Each structure stands twice: as C-alpha cells, then as structure tokens.
Structure 1
Amino acid sequence: MVLVEQVIQISRFNLIRAAQDLMKWQQKCTPVSEHTVKSAVTWLWKLDHMTAVSHTSSAEALLEAMGDEAVEAVYYFAVGDVPVDTKQLLLEKVSDGSCPVNTVSFNAREDETIIFLKELSRLTSGRFHAFAEKKNCRDATGPALKYEEDRKRLTALNSGKVKGQMPQVAGVCEDVFLIWKELEEARSTVRQVQEMLSESDQSASQEANKGDHPLSKDITDKYLTSEKWLQKYGLKAQKLTLYEALADSVFRHVDGPVDIKTKPEDECSQTDAETKRKIIHARYCDKFVHTLWKDGSVVHVYVTTEKYKQYEKKMRTALRQMEERIKWLQQGSRGLFGNVFEDDVYILIDTSQSMNNKLPLVKEKIFQLMQEQLRHKKRFNFVKFSAQAVAWQEKLVEVNEENLQDAWLWIKGLEVGSSTNTLKALQMALADTDTQAIYLLTDGRPDQVFQNEKTENAEKRCQN
C-alpha cells in the first residue's frame, strides 16, 4: 500500500530485506515510475517468508541503506517484537547515522519494543508509526497478486477489524494510547483476581449483571485530556488496581496466630466483626493463595465470593467506560485531530501537489471539525500552504455561524499547488500572539529551506 500510494509521489527508492544474507531489490536507489513500483510490488510478493534472520540482520540492512549517498531517509519496518541483542546493536551502529530512520512497528506485543522503536526514531531525528494486523488478510505464502489486484485488496483491508490487541492508532495518537494502556491493566487485574479466586476454591460469578450501567458522568468530562480523564475514572481513581482491591484481603506469613478481616453478611447491621477477628494459626497458611505484594514480599490472599462480586461489578463498569472512551476518541474529527482543548486555534492545511488525492478527505474532516469542535471554541483561523502560505483571515476571528459558514466556503474552494512551504505557514500562525495551539495537516516534510536565526527560533517554538 505504501508503494502504490506514497512512494509513487517521491523521486527515488529501494527495498532491502533484512535476512541472514541481505536481499536488495536494486543495488542503488532507483527513479520512481509506474514500472518500477510494479516491479517492486512483484519482488515483495515473491520473497521467501521463511528466510533465516540473525540478530545482526537489521543493523546490517540499515547500514547498507545509509551507505547509498542518494538516500535522504530510511524506513525500518519491524514485524513483531525486536530481540534484546538486536536493540543494542541498532543503538550502537545506527543512532548516529547520516540520515533519519523512521521506524514502523507491526504487530508488536511488548511495550519494550514500542518504547525502543520510538527512541530509535528520536535519536535519528526520524518518526514513529505503529499498527496491527487485520483479520481476513491474504495468506502471506499465497501466490503473488497482480499490481492492480494487490492495490484493490490492500485498500479493502481498511474496513477489516484489528486482529492484534493494540488500537490502530496506538503509538501515534498518545491520547488513545493512554486509555488503551489503562484498559490493558484493568483486564490483567481482572484475570489475576479470577485466578486467585479459583485457586482458593471459591465460587464466583462469571457473568456480568446485564442491568449494570456505567457511572453517570457530566458530558464535559469527555473533553478532558486522557491524562485528566484517567485521574477521575482510571483504576487508581476508583481504587481498582490489584493492590488496592486486595488491600483488606491479604495477610503476611508469621510464626503464630494471624488475623483475617471478615465483614458481616449484612453490612447494614452494627457488629463487632472488626474487633473480634477470625484467628487462624500460621501453619494453615499453605491452604491460601500466595502472591507477590508491591514491596516484593510474599503474602497470603483470601477473597470471599461477596467481595469478588462487588469488585467484578465495579471493574466491568470501569472497562465499559474505557472502551466507550476509546471509541469516542476515534470517531468523527477526533480520529484525525484528537480532542481540541484550546480556545484559540490555527488550522494549517497542506495544499501541495502531493495532497492532490487527499484533499477531498481533508475537507471532509475539517467540516466535521467545524461542526463537532470548533463551534464550541472562542476564536479560530485557517492557513493554506503550498509554495506560498495564505491565511483565511489576518488574525484569529470569533467563532459564530457567519464566520463558520464563510470559512467553510473558503475550505471548499481549496486547490492543490506545488511545493511545501510549511515554515511560512507556521510563522503566520505564531505571529498571532493570541494563538494557543496550531494543528498542522500535512503528508510530508517541507521542501523549502530557510537559514537564518529568526526562522530557526520559530521552528523551535513550534516544536515546543
């Protein structure tokens, strides 16, 4: 897909397979044409998918790519998780390379792999992307597809469901990634509690009460950052982490009598259950589940059926809240822009030649942004940029129906230009002293160079 949609827009390219013996499509970077792209696709489908790989293969492939003087950037496509020895070698050999290394993670299962690939791209001034496999994909060992069939099938995959655990935008959209991480922790905690209950021979409810509903929330909570949302609805906020959930259900091993807290069957009644605790001698501790506690010590666990049911109900509610949050974050304009939190914003739109096929989609998403988010802000402005940058208005303007309508007519009339003067667009937005945030829509890096102290400072301010 990247070959037929993006590589076709650049000047030259090459492909290298990181295997025991490096496999290169061409000896050097080759000019892009319809013929060379077709040839590259055919070469890819004919590769032997069982070729042996050593821990040095990836580093050797990257060094080989960087050795081509015509190369301006390298894309390192990592399937699954990266071995520890390979990580170390890549950091030693590649981190100070001659060009950016953009890392792409496919179906990574370990957080360490994502963290490493992000760090590698940062050290080499590159970018990081992550995505997961989708269902109903063709068998990788099947016959090679024809060029047009390949393109149609790859495009059709967009409607499939993600097979891996990580959301499609995880690692790219940090707002979604934070919620996903919390969701994974919640699922892990539920599994651990269920295992403990099973080991202690206690019967537990396995079905959620269908009458349960998520906790009521003020609609404005949706517009919090994910970090603040988790502070209010995350596992720690609701005291559902493993250690908090089991705090009153664990006891340490000692050589003597041990107290176990027990609650009365009717919690509404006044009893002395807290003062007259059940006493069990330590020699019976091996009858209870053992687990590691947060301080590294081993503790014994006793979970009653009643406590588990209460915990399960709260945890399922929390899980539904997080799943709904992720779904909401990926809907409409938020799928592209995320949550727009600031009140005074600039939207910068790349209208260079490479945006020719993407501009209709961009216009659609901007319309959604105006309807769903901008109308609730205070002030806004748009800037289009190709070889030159042109603003819709000189300064930020008030959000009202008349301005929104006028801005939409301006957006509808956008047409593609030539090169990509990103810096000029950023300077225009930063020149407005009331600007609180800038949202930059572009499909590539700038192709116009400015070398003076003033513009360098503008770039740094934008990055910060």
Structure 2
Amino acid sequence: MTTSQHGRASFSASTGALSLVPYSHTNGETQNVDLTTSSQDSAVYTTADPPYLSSQLKSSDWLQRYGLKSQKLSFDQILQQIGFKRAETYNASLGKMVGAKYAGSIYHEIQHDNGDRYVLTCRPEKLREYEHRLMRMLNLLRKRVVFITSGSRRIFGIIGEPSVCIVCDCKTSDSRLFNQFQSSIISLLKEQVTKIKRFNIVWVSNDNEQFQQQPIDVTTTTIDEAIAWISNRKCIRTKISISATCEAIL
C-alpha cells in the first residue's frame, strides 16, 4: 500500500501467495513448512493468544517485532544456545582443513547451511523446551497468516498508516459487481479503518464526490456515517471520463 503526498492511499494484495518458511535439519537438505495448512484448527483464536496477533503492522514490521529472531528462536540463535561451533584450521602439511574432535562420538553434531558444524552439548530437556517454543511460534504464525488473508485484508492488504484517504473507483454498470464493491469498502471501514486515527473517502465520478472536505477523526459516529454514505452511492448509468480517476487521486 502506498500513500501520496495528499494522504490518498492505494491498495494491492496477492490472494494466491503461500507463505513458506525454509529450514534446514540435515546436511544440505532444505524443506518447507506451509503455514497455510495445519493438522489443527489454526483459525481458532483463544484467550491465550497475544493481542499483537491481530495488529495492523505490515508483515515485515510484524516479523521484526514478533518473529523468530525477536524470540531468539532462529536457527543460528538456537545453535548458539545448545552447542558450539566445531573448530577447524588449515593444516599445511596435509594441505587441507582439519576439524577438531570432541570426546569422540559422545556428542551429536549438526551442520549449518553454510557448512559449519556445531557440536550439540545441551540436555534432552533443553531440546524439548525449544521444540515446545517452536511449535507454539509456528501455531501463532499460522494464525497470523489466517488473519492477514481474511476479510478486507485479503482484498486490500493491511492499512499500516495512521491516516488514509480511500479512493473508490468503480465504473461498472453491473449492479451485482457494484454491490460487491460497496460491501468490500464497508468491510474495510469496519475491520481496518476503525483501528486508525483519521480517514476520508473519495468516490470517483464525473463530479468526484468526497465524504468530507478534509480527513476526519475515526469515531463510531464517523464510521457509521461513512458506511451510510457508501451505501447511498448508486450504480452508474452514464459514462465516467477517463481523467476522473487521475483528478480524484490528485
């Protein structure tokens, strides 16, 4: 979503995108976890779920604040907590890299994607703790994917700005499509605009109608008035000029 210098926002979203998180668990082998599927009902929210699960942050910011790295659960971070990197040095007489050995084969080793090998020294209880934390995080990520791909977010994406102007450009004369368009905008107002500070709406027509002359504060009253205003728009019967959209954005 982008916002112009006049505060007008345009929205775009991909409905077919799948969220795949790569991870490596054996030497040189990479698999994917599909966050859009689960053996459990990941769409069910519980009182134990953190409130940030349904925050209006865009995905990059959300992951930076609440993702694996912020929880110290990335592969690199976990390796540093459960073991240490095996030392290697170049042996001139052999003409190759030589790795150190620790206590024979007592400790398990795991190879990082970059080729480094780590000696695992933690107890099984510690590994089970990380397993529990990772499974909980995976479940939260699945629920986040469900949230950002449902309702108005599936069509418009997430509104991350505190103030927006929604430009409604619906030139169809098909009343069925027009009603769907109205319903989508009303859903956007109820689900997302209610969570920001200020808004306005411009309806593209030959007269370019505006809900208000300037952006207004978001309140229960202004949202209800905006919904009523959108509901009162009529399906066009006359041709709208090509320049009307450009004029509305400017």
**Under a length normalisation based on structure 1, what TM-score does the superposition of the two structures give?**
0.39
CA contact (8 A) 2:13 2:156 kept: no
Q: Does 1:244 align with 2:63?
A: no
Per the alignment, do residues 221 and 287 of structure 1 end up closer, same or farther by CA in structure 2, a change over 3 Å counting? Answer: closer
**Partner secondary structure for residue 246 of structure 1:** helix
Per the alignment, do residues 330 and 290 of structure 1 end up closer, same or farther by CA in structure 2, a change over 3 Å counting? Answer: closer
CA contact (8 A) 1:383 1:389 kept: yes
In structure 2, the residue matched to 1:291 is 111
Query: Aligned AA for 2:136?
Result: T
CA contact (8 A) 1:253 1:285 kept: no
Distance 1:256 1:373 in 2: 56
In structure 1, the residue matched to 2:67 is 234
Q: Does 1:307 align with 2:126?
A: yes
Distance 1:399 1:290 in 2: 53
Q: Indicate the RMSD between aligned Cα atoms, in angstroms.
A: 3.6
Gaps of 5+ in 1: 1-127, 131-167, 171-176, 196-207, 260-279, 428-464
Q: Does 1:370 align with 2:204?
A: no
After superposition, residues 396-435 of structure 1 pair within 5 angstroms as 396-417=215-236, 418-419=239-240, 420=242, 421-427=244-250
Distance 1:220 1:251 in 2: 35
Distance 1:293 1:374 in 2: 43
Query: Aligned AA for 2:111?
Result: T
Pairwise CA distance, 1:354: 6.1
Q: By percentage of residues, which structure has more strand?
A: 2
Query: Aligned AA for 1:332?
Result: G
Query: Aligned AA for 1:291?
Result: Q
Select which of 121, 135, 154 maps to 1:316: 135
Distance 2:26 2:65 in 1: 24
**Under a length normalisation based on structure 2, what TM-score does the superposition of the two structures give?**
0.67
**Partner secondary structure for residue 150 of structure 2:** coil
**Partner secondary structure for residue 370 of structure 1:** helix
**Partner secondary structure for residue 235 of structure 2:** coil
Distance 2:161 2:233 in 1: 25
Q: By percentage of residues, which structure has more helix?
A: 1
Pairwise CA distance, 1:358: 2.1
Pairwise CA distance, 1:383: 1.1
Pairwise CA distance, 1:289: 3.8
CA contact (8 A) 2:54 2:147 kept: no
In structure 2, the residue matched to 1:94 is none
Select which of 23, 47, 57 maps to 1:224: 57
Distance 2:99 2:143 in 1: 49
**Partner secondary structure for residue 380 of structure 1:** strand
In structure 2, the residue matched to 1:341 is 160
Query: Aligned AA for 2:188?
Result: L
Per the alignment, do residues 355 and 379 of structure 1 end up closer, same or farther by CA in structure 2, a change over 3 Å counting? Answer: farther
Gaps of 5+ in 2: 1-11, 30-39, 41-45, 89-97
**Partner secondary structure for residue 333 of structure 1:** helix
Query: Aligned AA for 2:83?
Result: S
Pairwise CA distance, 1:300: 4.4
Pairwise CA distance, 1:325: 0.8
Per the alignment, do residues 387 and 293 of structure 1 end up closer, same or farther by CA in structure 2, a change over 3 Å counting? Answer: same
CA contact (8 A) 1:214 1:318 kept: no
Percent of pairs identical after alignment? 24
Distance 2:118 2:16 in 1: 39
Pairwise CA distance, 1:326: 1.0
Query: Aligned AA for 2:249?
Result: L
Structure with the greater alpha carbon radius of gyration = 1
CA contact (8 A) 1:251 1:300 kept: yes
**Partner secondary structure for residue 353 of structure 1:** coil
Per the alignment, do residues 315 and 350 of structure 1 end up closer, same or farther by CA in structure 2, a change over 3 Å counting? Answer: same
Structure 1 runs of 4+ aligned residues shifted over 6 Å read none
Pairwise CA distance, 1:359: 1.8
Query: Aligned AA for 1:402?
Result: T
In structure 2, the residue matched to 1:6 is none
Distance 2:163 2:87 in 1: 59
Distance 1:257 1:381 in 2: 66
In structure 1, the residue matched to 2:7 is none
Distance 1:233 1:324 in 2: 13
CA contact (8 A) 1:239 1:245 kept: yes
Pairwise CA distance, 1:304: 4.2
After superposition, residues 76-87 of structure 1 pair within 5 angstroms as none
